[in-house]
Amino acid sequence: MPADEKPTASVWTRPSRPQREQLTREQIVTAAIDLLDKEGTEALSMRKLGSRLDAGATSLYRHVANRDELIQLVVDDVYGEIELPATAGRPGWRAAVTGIAADLRAMTLRHPWIAPELGQVGLVHIGPNAMRMTSGLFAQFDAAGFPPGERERAAGTVTAYVIGIATSEAAYLSLIARSGKTEREWVASLRPAFDEASQHDPRLREADSAQPDVHPRETRDADFSYGLERVLDGLSARLDH
Amino acid sequence: MPADEKPTASVWTRPSRPQREQLTREQIVTAAIDLLDKEGTEALSMRKLGSRLDAGATSLYRHVANRDELIQLVVDDVYGEIELPATAGRPGWRAAVTGIAADLRAMTLRHPWIAPELGQVGLVHIGPNAMRMTSGLFAQFDAAGFPPGERERAAGTVTAYVIGIATSEAAYLSLIARSGKTEREWVASLRPAFDEASQHDPRLREADSAQPDVHPRETRDADFSYGLERVLDGLSARLDH
DNA sequence: CTCACGTTGCGCACACCGTACGCAACTCGG
DNA sequence: CCGAGTTGCGTACGGTGTGCGCAACGTGAG
């Protein structure tokens, strides 16, 4: 075989038949979420994502303007995971809001990489799924009896609380994930460092009353519920004039 | 002048006298904050930071292990900006907590780049300044009468709310800053997009009751206060058995 | 059936990034 | 005066996002 001929000229070595395969934006987004879930934020590079899809890095740019836009799409797609109660009835609003809040938190913990992105992308001009959730929350507070001007503030209060606490948890969990330990091993391993730090501040020492026999996850769940209950208490107190 | 001699051999071209100048970690951190404030997150590169300090990029590594550690230092340093009330008295706890919350929010808005970093670094093993703030909050809830086990949850609830809402605001503000417009111009410019989006959802349309004659910043301030009041209502309801 | 055209994938190239490494120049204790 | 230790920096490596232009394909007009 003479080497000066183009090596792909032969019929046999020609790339297998279709080879066109039509990349779609949806494929790209779901592949990106998969990659993020498995390897974390900084592992998402256009090259790596491309090779996951058997495509070159720059091929993605036909369907996505740039990396930032990809991330916006990914974030909104993930918002599609939270499900909204079908109806909004007067008495059930508190349970419904609690459910949405739990879903929002669970979504954040399923995809901890979303926390830093939320800080960048914000919730300002985000896609249809995020708007759907916002609108669903509005519906509940509407049914609860909040006047039109106050509904958005009430909804904003609970989303702020949920996002805030879930962000902390997500950062903490992805830190643990990077370390390769389990959550229990992790808290046990930095116990001495914490003890030393709290030696100068008795208030912090008392604060560390975590019983070693309950799973940290249960503590986190209970903390979340506690705060959410307080927020909802404060909001429903507003309703009873 | 023969070229095979080292060109710096001459006494005259020798680098000016001291040239040693002693870089410190503190200098690096404050220069990093300055750079972040002026140009945003992605503008902070070791090279650019180095040249701001008239130093090579890799010189920084003598004082800072790596970029992540720099960011942790920077975040904690910024936490030093929030000031704590000197005393904790029973009746004043609500005002004191309100003040801390306002400070925390103001700090986040002064340094909007902190929002994504908080999502990554979390508040877990953060430095002395952040611990000082946490401890200061504990003191207030302690004085308010919360039992030892509940104090941390109460404090966590209000920090979660503040961080959550401030994160959204920070993302929104840094988006605006990147666009080069003022906040008012910005909201006016995306008005048509919002109108179109809310056409399918009457609830969203109603929500957009922003009067064009009040500054958006005042609206944000009022929204923040509203939510904070509700959170504190819910917490103090806990105190009255 | 033919062929030109629009769409899509991809290789290349560029500028930039974090940072490991080792040398040179300085400070300082002995 | 001299060795040791500290600090700054130049070089280099492997990685990144992405602009650009070419090649291969599906499609519809003639």
Domain of B133, CATH number, reads 1.10.357.10
Q: Which of B58, B78, B98 is the endpoint of a domain?
A: B78
pLDDT at A218: 94
* Per-residue CA distances from A214 to A183, A184, A217, A221, B184 (Å): 12, 10, 8, 12, 51
Which has the closest alpha carbon to A138: A128, A129, A149? Answer: A149
- Quote the domain boundaries for residue A104: 82-240
In a domain, A2, yes or no: no
Contact B138 A171 (CB under 8 A): no
More confident residue, B102 or B21: B102
In a domain, A4, yes or no: no
In a domain, A3, yes or no: no
Q: Is the pLDDT assigned to residue B211 strictly greater than 70? A: no
CA dihedral of residues B118, B123, B126, B127 (deg, nearest 10): 90
Q: Which nucleotide is nearest to B19 (CA to C1')?
A: C26
Using a 7 Å cut-off to protein CB atoms, list the covered nucleotides of chain D. 7-11, 15-21, 24-26
Supply the DSSP string of B80-139, one letter for each residue: TTS---S---TTTHHHHHHHHHHHHHHHHHHSTTHHHHHHHH-STT--HHHHHHHHHHHH
Q: Which of A63, A78, A93 is the endpoint of a domain?
A: A78
Based on the domain organization, do A119 and A215 belong to the same domain? yes
In a domain, A165, yes or no: yes
In a domain, A138, yes or no: yes
Residue range A53-75, pLDDT digits in tens: 988 889 999 999 999 999 999 99
Using a 7 Å cut-off to protein CB atoms, list the covered nucleotides of chain C. 8-12, 16-22, 25-27
Based on the domain organization, do A162 and A67 belong to the same domain? no
Q: Is the CB of B39 under 7 A from strand C?
A: no
Based on the domain organization, do B162 and B64 belong to the same domain? no
Q: What domain count does chain B have? A: 2
Rounded to whole angstroms, the distance from the CA of residue A23 to the C1' of nucleotide D24 is 15
Residues A148-164: b if buried by 16+ CB within 10 A, e if exposed: eeebbbbbbbbbbbbbb
pLDDT at A240: 84
Q: Is the CB of B67 under 7 A from strand C?
A: yes
Based on the domain organization, do B69 and B89 belong to the same domain? no
Rounded to whole angstroms, the distance from the CA of residue B101 to the C1' of nucleotide D10 is 48
In a domain, B223, yes or no: yes
Structure tokens, A181: 């330990």
Contact B234 A238 (CB under 8 A): no
* Residue A226 to chain B, least CA–CA distance (Å): 7
Based on the domain organization, do A67 and A89 belong to the same domain? no
Of all residues in chain A, the one with the smallest CA distance to B204 is A135
Average pLDDT, chain A: 84
Q: Which of B55, B78, B101 is the endpoint of a domain?
A: B78
Q: Which ranges constitute the DSSP H helices of A180-215?
A: 183-189, 191-197, 202-207
Based on the domain organization, do B109 and B72 belong to the same domain? no
In this prediction, residue B212 has a pLDDT band, given cuts at 50, 70 and 90, of low
More confident residue, B230 or B86: B230
pLDDT at A169: 94
pLDDT at A163: 95
Based on the domain organization, do B86 and B74 belong to the same domain? no
CB burial of residue A40 (10 Å; 0-12, 13-18, 19+): middle
Based on the domain organization, do B87 and B122 belong to the same domain? yes
Based on the domain organization, do A128 and A194 belong to the same domain? yes
Residue A156: its chain B contacts at CB < 8 A? 165, 223, 227
pLDDT at B23: 81
Nearest to A135 among B115, B161, B204 (CB): B204
**What does the pLDDT average to over A139-165?**
95
